[in-house]
Copies of this chain bind each other. A is one copy, B any other.
Amino acid sequence: MSLVRQLFAHPGMSRADLAAAAGLTKSTVSTIVRELIEEGWMCEREVVATGDLGRRPTPMFIDQERLLLIGAEVDIESARVVATSLTGDVLASATANFGAGKSAKACVGALANAMLTVRAQLNSNKQRVVGIGVGLPGGVDEDTGFLHFAPNLGWRDVPVGSMLREKLAGTALAGVPMFLQNEADVAALGEVEFNPSIASDPLLYLSMNQGVGAGVIFSDRLLTGRRGFAGEVGHMVLHINGPMCSCGRRGCAEALIGPRAILGTEEEHPHPLREIRRLMQERHPETLRAIKKAGGYLGVLLQNLASAYDPGSIVIGGQMAELGDVFLQPALRTLTAYAAAANLPPPNVRSSRFGRDAVAVGAAALVRYRLTRPLMATLDGEASVEMAA
């Protein structure tokens, strides 16, 4: 798959270019390329005649029509499913609204139906789904497909992977390889896979919904940590002995920035984000002040992320990001002030190019990431895997 990765980064390379880049002979590359064209990964495009003498080498491109990726975001009340090309263009989509507080079984059933709705929009003669990715709002064990803990869904140790596989058995999506990961992690992968730039490395995707978490990609690798909990930056302490957090600790970023911090803790709202949007529309003064204050704390969190990872880019996403300037401007002001105090340029902060589909498209990117990478480097090195295709 290293030839496929070459073309992701440099569309239009010829077979000779690919051979040179991979250190393989031209005849080996020709054989592999023939297979990859047959399988639907690559295609040739005609050389435009320019009047120059001699035959031009044929440029190769990633095939954007035959192989597709399915990506899904599971949120608290709904699931969003997209089908994308290998290069991340959304070709079909569906949303399942299951409402809050439903059982994991009911949610996974609705998710499977949305996937099949998307599948039905595709041309089953010409298009093949090579994998399904799912982004979940909690800690995920990618090897087993278990969602360990999703506080805002109220799920603990749910075998989402096998439940979904069971729901899809006997359907058009039966047996398709499946990959599950945390929602911020997949959104970060979406940015790197479908919009690669060396200047963005390391890339952080900060996801702010009811919970606050980050996905971190560094040197083309997803940082998952020892137990899959890396990037749990919502539980970094920003203020010792600060307000109580949902995790049981005090002064966590989430307790200062999250929707509960904005609404105050006296009353539990079943839909805190919806409530904040309502109060914002009413221009409720206390809420606007609380959003600004939370935005300032977001700036402190961004400062801590800059210190920890020295990111090339921080991408901000999630429903909290949709609160807009009233929330984000105080954050950027705080971040800029911290940077100026230390005489450093502030890190590059931007929103996702995939907007509300950042997690679903990111889940599709997880499929591409896993299918086109060798196994992660281990103590045993990676030479043997890397040499294939």
Q: Residues on A close to B: CB < 8 A?
A: 2, 5-6, 9-10, 21-24, 196, 198-199, 201-202, 218-221, 223-240, 247-249, 297, 300, 303-305, 307-312, 338, 341-344, 347, 376-387
Contacts and interface: CB of A to CB of B under 8 A. Distances in A.
A379 B198 contact: yes
Number of copies: 2
A202 B224 CA distance: 9
A221 B221 contact: yes
A384 B24 CA distance: 8
A384 B6 CA distance: 12
Given A198-B379, A237-B238, 16 more contacts: A2-B382, A9-B379, A23-B383, A202-B226, A219-B221, A224-B310, A227-B310, A229-B344, A233-B307, A237-B304, A238-B240, A239-B239, A248-B342, A248-B343, A249-B303, A249-B338
Given A23-B387, A237-B238, A386-B382, A225 B341 contact: no
23 contacts: A5-B381, A6-B380, A9-B381, A10-B380, A23-B384, A201-B226, A218-B223, A219-B221, A220-B379, A224-B310, A228-B310, A229-B307, A230-B310, A232-B307, A232-B308, A236-B307, A238-B238, A240-B300, A247-B341, A248-B341, A249-B341, A308-B308, A386-B386
A46 B225 CA distance: 41
Contact of A311 (B22, B225, B233, B343): B225
Given A380-B21, A381-B6, A303 B198 contact: no
B342 A235 contact: yes
Contacts of A304: 236-237, 304
Given A238-B240, A307-B232, A202 B225 contact: yes
Main secondary structure of the interface of A (DSSP, over half): loop
A347 B227 CA distance: 10
A380 B9 contact: yes
A237 B378 contact: no
Contacts of A311: 225-226
Contacts of A384: 21-23
Contacts of A199: 226
Given A202-B225, A303-B237, A230 B386 contact: no
Contacts of A232: 307-308, 310
B23 A225 contact: no
A329 B9 CA distance: 50
A214 B201 CA distance: 19
Contacts of A379: 9, 196, 198, 220
Contacts of A310: 224-232
Contacts of A23: 383-385, 387
Nearest to A312: B226
Nearest to A234: B307
Contacts of A383: 2, 21-24, 386-387
A68 B382 CA distance: 26
Contact of A240 (B198, B236, B239, B312): B239
A236 B308 CA distance: 7
List 8 tightest A-B contacts by C-beta distance, closest first.
A225-B310, A23-B384, A248-B341, A230-B310, A229-B310, A9-B379, A226-B312, A2-B383
